[in-house]
């Protein structure tokens, strides 16, 4: 197993390079990947390997590592309720908008993996355009950071369970058998899709502002910390046209991430629409305590540096909460962890610990403290909500549904002021409604698509 020090160093590298977060539950998987890369590269130790990655001659190895640690789970027509939402609402609406317009219908499949998602979008469009009597001047740009996944996507030949969710009629129409026994995507479909290497965390978006009608970025941000997701969603907002749509994975929401989109329920799924006039960014609508903390931080940064080293913060709930609202999530987690050592029955300390860890993208580590929090205080609706989010991102959809329901029940009728920091200026009813929708979606997903998935995140 990777030592604590090596694990931390590899984690830091991967989070800096591709935004990927690895919590303790993923240490065994990461260990076996790193052991293999050490053998192949001939590096004598983890520090020597990380040094190689920083060198120009380490470029190929950098790519091999990214290929090995990214999770490429995907399949055709993934998540039937979302397919229905695309087929019935989003794509028809966007196709109609292109009538008489110079710019083609422009779609970005961000984090496209081995190509099933963008090819599915192309097939849906090829079916819909003649039905609506609308020409399909369409371009789908599909991007990913994994070179291996992109190579498979460009080959466009598939077999096995990735095809199980493709309706038989569409499979017959848009694939042709290959001599090797697989099914190749037909040229008509391929023509609509262009693949490009792109790192969502480091590269500039491959579009100019307002150029994109639909961004599909599903099951990608579940591997990111919330700050990384926030920055990415800001970029998506810039390149989306007014009224353009964003489709995330079923377990990904913009709650506490962005307010510049409107949630649009469609059947058993929901999509986000770029708001006509972007509301104030989250930071401008933060509760007073948060704004005060931020102002203090700005003042502290401007002030001359004190000579003496500040005394370590005593582990108190107030200190943990302050670190959390100031966005010092690592500090919040370590203060809260120290706190629960001394006070193992403090529900609030577990809430802060779980909140900080889930915000850092460490959902595997967040589940236990959040479970303890709701055990100690079953009325803590925000803890149920965070627990549900972590479980959903880990692929435990049945359990997530139970927690979303518990969150909806506990949050109903809760005083708005009691949850001010958590609500970010929104209404309790909005959160209750979201919990109910997410519960339904998690149940659907548990019964449906996840019979195909291998169980959430893995290394």
Contact call for residue 70 and ligand SAM (CB under 6 A): yes
- Nearer residue to ligand SAM within complex by CB, 199 or 379: 199
Parallel, antiparallel or unpaired: strands 240-248 and 269-274: antiparallel
202-221 residues in contact with ligand SAM (CB under 6 A) are 218-220
Contact call for residue 145 and ligand SAM (CB under 6 A): yes
Quick one: tokens of 265? 């329920």
- Nearer residue to ligand SAM within complex by CB, 19 or 361: 19
- Nearer residue to ligand SAM within complex by CB, 19 or 369: 19
* Contact pattern from residue 397 through residue 436 relative to ligand SAM, giving x for each residue in contact according to CB under 6 A and a dash for the rest: ----------------------------------------
Question: Could you give the 3-state DSSP secondary structure of residue 330?
Answer: helix
Question: In 97-173, at which residue ranges do the beta strands (DSSP E only) sit?
Answer: 105-110, 138-144, 157-158
CA–CA separation, 17 and 227 (whole Å): 15
Determine the interface stretch with ligand SAM among 2-10, 141-149, 293-301, 432-440 (rule: CB under 6 A).
141-149
Question: Please, are residues 283 and 326 in contact by the beta-carbon 8 Å criterion?
Answer: no
Question: Please, are residues 450 and 81 in contact by the beta-carbon 8 Å criterion?
Answer: no
Q: Give Cα separations from 456 to 117, 333, 396 (angstroms).
A: 18, 24, 7
Question: Could you give the 3-state DSSP secondary structure of residue 431?
Answer: helix
Determine the interface stretch with ligand SAM among 66-74, 269-277, 342-350, 447-455 (rule: CB under 6 A).
66-74
76-105 residues in contact with ligand SAM (CB under 6 A) are 78
Q: Give the count of residues interacting with ligand SAM (CB under 6 A).
A: 25
- Nearer residue to ligand SAM within complex by CB, 15 or 346: 15
Give min distance, CB of 39 to ligand SAM, in A: 23
Host H or E run for residue 15: helix 4-18
* Contact pattern from residue 239 through residue 278 relative to ligand SAM, giving x for each residue in contact according to CB under 6 A and a dash for the rest: ----------x-----------------------------
CA–CA separation, 422 and 430 (whole Å): 12
Contact call for residue 201 and ligand SAM (CB under 6 A): yes
Contact call for residue 144 and ligand SAM (CB under 6 A): yes
Determine the interface stretch with ligand SAM among 84-92, 182-190, 193-201, 261-269 (rule: CB under 6 A).
193-201
Contact call for residue 199 and ligand SAM (CB under 6 A): yes
- Nearer residue to ligand SAM within complex by CB, 232 or 340: 232
CA–CA separation, 407 and 383 (whole Å): 8
Give min distance, CB of 457 to ligand SAM, in A: 9
Parallel, antiparallel or unpaired: strands 157-158 and 183-185: antiparallel
Contact call for residue 346 and ligand SAM (CB under 6 A): no
Contact call for residue 111 and ligand SAM (CB under 6 A): yes
Least Cα distance to 247 among 276, 223, 272 occurs for 272
- Nearer residue to ligand SAM within complex by CB, 232 or 386: 232
- DSSP code at position 45: S
Give min distance, CB of 251 to ligand SAM, in A: 11
Instruction: Report the residue from 73, 252, 259, 446 that binds ligand SAM according to the rule CB under 6 A.
Output: 73
Q: Output the DSSP codes for 248-291.
A: E-TT---TTT-SSEEEEEETTEEEEEE-SSPPPPGGGG--HHHH
CA–CA separation, 144 and 74 (whole Å): 13
Contact call for residue 19 and ligand SAM (CB under 6 A): yes
Instruction: Report the residue from 82, 106, 113, 256 that binds ligand SAM according to the rule CB under 6 A.
Output: 113
Give min distance, CB of 416 to ligand SAM, in A: 35
* Contact pattern from residue 218 through residue 237 relative to ligand SAM, giving x for each residue in contact according to CB under 6 A and a dash for the rest: xxx--x--------------
- Nearer residue to ligand SAM within complex by CB, 418 or 452: 452
Q: What is the b/e burial string over 386-421, where b = at least 16 CB atoms within 10 angstroms of the residue's CB?
A: bbbbbbbbbbbbebbbbbbbbbbbbbeebeeeebeb
Quick one: tokens of 130? 């003649």
Give min distance, CB of 111 to ligand SAM, in A: 3
CA–CA separation, 120 and 220 (whole Å): 17
Determine the interface stretch with ligand SAM among 110-118, 163-171, 431-439, 443-451 (rule: CB under 6 A).
110-118
Host H or E run for residue 244: strand 240-248
Look-up of token digits 């920083």: 54
Q: Give Cα separations from 177 to 157, 182, 204 (angstroms).
A: 9, 6, 38
Instruction: Report the residue from 149, 257, 366, 441 that binds ligand SAM according to the rule CB under 6 A.
Output: 149
- Nearer residue to ligand SAM within complex by CB, 219 or 397: 219
- Nearer residue to ligand SAM within complex by CB, 232 or 339: 232
Q: Which residues form the interface with ligand SAM (CB under 6 A)?
A: 18-20, 70-74, 78, 111-113, 117, 144-146, 149, 199-201, 218-220, 223, 249
């Amino acid at each position: 197993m990777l030592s604590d020090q090596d694990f931390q160093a590899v984690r830091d590298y991967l989070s800096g390079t591709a935004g990927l977060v690895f919590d303790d539950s993923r240490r065994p998987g990461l260990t076996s990947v790193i052991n293999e890369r050490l053998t192949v590269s001939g590096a004598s130790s983890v520090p020597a390997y990380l040094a190689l990655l920083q060198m120009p001659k380490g470029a190929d190895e950098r790519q091999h590592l990214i290929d090995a640690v990214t999770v490429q789970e995907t399949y055709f027509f993934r998540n039937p309720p979302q397919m229905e939402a695309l087929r019935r609402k989003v794509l028809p609406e966007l196709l109609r908008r292109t009538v008489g317009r110079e710019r083609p219908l422009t779609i970005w499949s961000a984090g496209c993996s081995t190509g099933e998602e963008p090819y599915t979008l192309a097939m849906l469009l090829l079916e819909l355009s003649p039905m609506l009597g609308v020409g399909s001047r369409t371009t789908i740009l599909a991007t990913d950071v994994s070179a291996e996944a992109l190579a498979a996507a460009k080959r466009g030949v598939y077999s096995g369970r990735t095809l199980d969710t493709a309706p038989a009629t569409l499979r017959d129409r848009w694939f042709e058998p290959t001599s090797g026994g697989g099914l190749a995507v037909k040229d008509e479909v391929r023509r609509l899709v262009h693949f490009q290497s792109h790192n969502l965390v480091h590269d500039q978006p491959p579009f100019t502002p307002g150029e994109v009608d639909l961004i599909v970025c599903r099951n990608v941000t579940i591997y990111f910390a919330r700050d990384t997701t926030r920055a990415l969603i800001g970029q998506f907002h810039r390149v989306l046209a007014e009224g353009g749509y964003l489709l995330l994975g079923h377990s990904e929401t913009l709650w506490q991430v962005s307010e510049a989109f409107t949630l649009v329920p469609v059947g058993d799924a929901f999509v986000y629409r770029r708001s006509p006039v972007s509301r104030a960014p989250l930071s401008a609508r933060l509760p007073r305590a948060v704004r005060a903390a931020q102002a203090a931080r700005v003042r502290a940064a401007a002030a001359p540096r004190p000579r003496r080293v500040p005394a370590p913060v005593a582990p108190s709930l107030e200190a943990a909460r302050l670190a959390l609202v100031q966005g010092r999530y690592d500090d919040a987690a370590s203060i809260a962890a120290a706190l629960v050592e001394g006070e193992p029955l403090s529900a609030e300390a577990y809430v802060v610990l779980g909140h900080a860890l889930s915000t850092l993208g460490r959902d595997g580590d967040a589940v236990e403290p959040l479970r303890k929090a709701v055990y100690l205080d079953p009325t803590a609706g925000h803890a149920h909500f965070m627990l549900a989010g972590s479980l959903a991102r880990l692929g435990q959809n049945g359990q997530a549904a139970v927690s979303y329901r518990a969150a909806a029940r506990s949050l109903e009728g809760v005083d708005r002021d009691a949850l001010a920091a958590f609500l970010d200026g929104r209404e309790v009813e909005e959160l209750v409604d979201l919990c109910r929708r997410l519960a339904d979606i998690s149940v659907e997903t548990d019964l449906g698509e996840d019979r195909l998935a291998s169980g959430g995140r893995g290394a």
